[in-house]
């Protein structure tokens, strides 16, 4: 089908990797850089989703990237699996002073399973540290069958420091280039689809869920179905808490109006008891 008339949507980029390899620090730096440039789009960290405007590769069309943070701790493998399945691109963060670790391998396997739908960028992080051997890390990646461009493969690898900000421009450029190749567009149909990334009870609002929208548009009054519960969207806020009127594909928003606790929703729709911030699939429909 010809997609060329459909509008682009922001790529969804999930940051993954072993515990303490620097995922959150990297995202914090990306966000504050963007804020420092007056390009606010900030989002609170605990929700783990935020959108930042970035310079486009070509033309003057402004581009946005929506980032999702994930935990690196061994216990959260269900969440990483969801993270890999809701996303367009995975940034695999590998600390240069630590190398390939168990959750690094886990992410490599997840991405290989999703390779028809998900692009991969490797970010060798903490390159500001003295005596790190980036060459060694890249050879370790190759040994794990991650075919970096440098070795004739097609997987880009950037060297970054979330602490100093070094290399982050080139990370963003690489993500943009990959997104452009994937030609990520919003399917504007009369169907609303997305994922619940996180859910909780919020004082004054009742059950709320952070929803990543992939199709259609979300406005107050939209009916959503998720697992065994549903919502008639009452209010929408950006993940950083500003009230908004609608949500477009590729953006995350906090949705209120759920009939039951979205925690129960999450619980019933996941093969895991670890419910607090585990994403769950939402299939939702706009009722007329
Ligand atoms: P989890 O979410 O627990 O998996 O960890 P994470 O991958 O989000 O790592 P986090 O950002 O929490 O960073 C872990 C530690 O590494 C912190 O002490 C950071 O200050 C440090 N760190 C992160 N990035 C860098 C970096 O680029 N250089 C240096 N020197 N330290 C860094
Ligand atoms: Na950490
Ligand atoms: Mg983190």
Residue 284 binned pLDDT confidence (cut-offs 50, 70, 90): very low
Instruction: Kindly indicate whether the ipTM for this predicted assembly is greater than 0.95, answering yes or no.
Output: yes
| 48/109: higher pLDDT | 109
Which ligand has the shortest distance to the CA of 23?
1
Q: 52 near 11, Cβ under 8 Å?
A: no
For 132-152, how does the pLDDT look when each residue is reduced to its tens digit (9 = 90+)? 999 999 999 999 999 999 999
Q: Is the CB of 8 under 6 A from ligand 1?
A: no
At 216, list the tokens: 């259609």
Q: Tell me how far the alpha carbon of residue 20 lies from the centroid of ligand 3, in angstroms.
A: 7
Judged by its nearest atom, the ligand closest to the C-alpha of residue 21 is 1
List the residue whose alpha carbon is closest to atom 22 of ligand 1.
Answer: 22
Alpha carbon distance, N-terminus to C-terminus of the chain: 27
The response to whether residue 101 sits with its C-beta less than 6 Å from ligand 1 reads no
Residue 167 Cβ inside 6 Å of ligand 1? The answer reads no
- 195 pLDDT exceeds 50? yes
Contacts of 55-59 with C-beta under 8 Å, sequence gap 24+, read 55/172, 56/176, 57/173, 57/176, 57/177, 57/180
Q: Which numbered ligand comes closest to the C-alpha of 28?
A: 1
* Ligand 1 pocket, residue 20 CB under 6 Å: yes
Mean pLDDT score, 98-127: 95
- pLDDT for 260 equals 73
Per-residue pLDDT reduced to its tens digit, 16-50: 999 999 998 898 898 875 543 433 333 223 346 77
Q: Determine which residue's CA is closest to atom 14 belonging to ligand 1.
A: 20
DSSP 157-192: EEE--TTT-TTHHHHHHHHHHHHHHHT-B-B--S--
Asked whether the predicted pLDDT for residue 280 surpasses 60, the reply is no
Lowest mean pLDDT among 154-163, 255-264, 278-287: 278-287
pLDDT value for 273: 22
Q: Is the CB of 163 under 6 A from ligand 1?
A: yes
pLDDT (tens digit per residue) in 115-125: 888 999 999 99
Structure tokens at 64: 């946005």
Q: Which atom of ligand 1 is nearest to the CA of 73?
A: 4
Record the tokens describing residue 81, joined without a space: 């699996």
**Ligand 1 atom, smallest distance to 17 CA:** 7
DSSP assignment letter at 243: B
Q: Which atom of ligand 1 is nearest to the CA of 103?
A: 4
Q: Please state, as a whole number, how many other Cβ atoms lie within 10 Å of the Cβ of residue 135.
A: 9
What band does 281 get if pLDDT is binned at 50, 70 and 90? Answer: very low
> How far, in Å, from the CA of 281 to the mean position of ligand 1?
29
């Amino acid at each position: 089908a010809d997609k060329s008339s459909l509008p682009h949507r922001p790529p969804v980029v999930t940051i993954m990797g072993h515990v303490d390899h620097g995922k959150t620090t990297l995202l914090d730096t990306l966000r504050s850089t963007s804020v420092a440039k007056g390009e606010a789009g900030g989002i609170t960290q605990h929700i783990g989703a935020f959108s930042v405007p970035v310079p486009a590769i070509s033309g003057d069309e402004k581009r946005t990237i929506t980032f999702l943070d994930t935990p690196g701790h061994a216990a959260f493998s269900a969440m990483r699996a969801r993270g890999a399945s809701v996303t367009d691109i995975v940034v695999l963060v590998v600390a240069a002073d630590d190398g390939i670790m168990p959750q690094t391998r886990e992410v490599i396997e997840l991405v290989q399973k999703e390779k028809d739908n998900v692009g991969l960028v490797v970010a060798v992080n903490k390159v500001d540290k003295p005596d790190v051997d980036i060459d060694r890390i890249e050879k370790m990646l190759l040994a794990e069958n991650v075919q970096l461009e440098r070795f004739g493969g097609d997987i880009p690898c950037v060297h970054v420091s979330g602490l100093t900000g070094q290399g982050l421009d080139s990370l963003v450029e690489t993500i943009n280039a990959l997104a452009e190749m994937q030609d990520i567009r919003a399917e504007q149909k009369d169907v609303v689809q997305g994922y619940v990334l996180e859910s909780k009870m919020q004082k004054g609002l009742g059950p709320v869920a952070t929803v990543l929208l992939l199709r259609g548009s979300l406005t107050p009054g939209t009916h959503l179905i998720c697992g065994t519960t549903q919502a008639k969207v009452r209010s929408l806020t950006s993940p950083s808490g500003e009230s908004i009127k609608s949500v477009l594909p590729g953006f995350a928003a906090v949705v209120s109006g759920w009939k039951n606790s979205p925690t129960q929703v999450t619980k019933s729709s996941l093969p895991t008891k670890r419910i607090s911030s585990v994403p769950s699939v939402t299939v939702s429909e706009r009722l007329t």
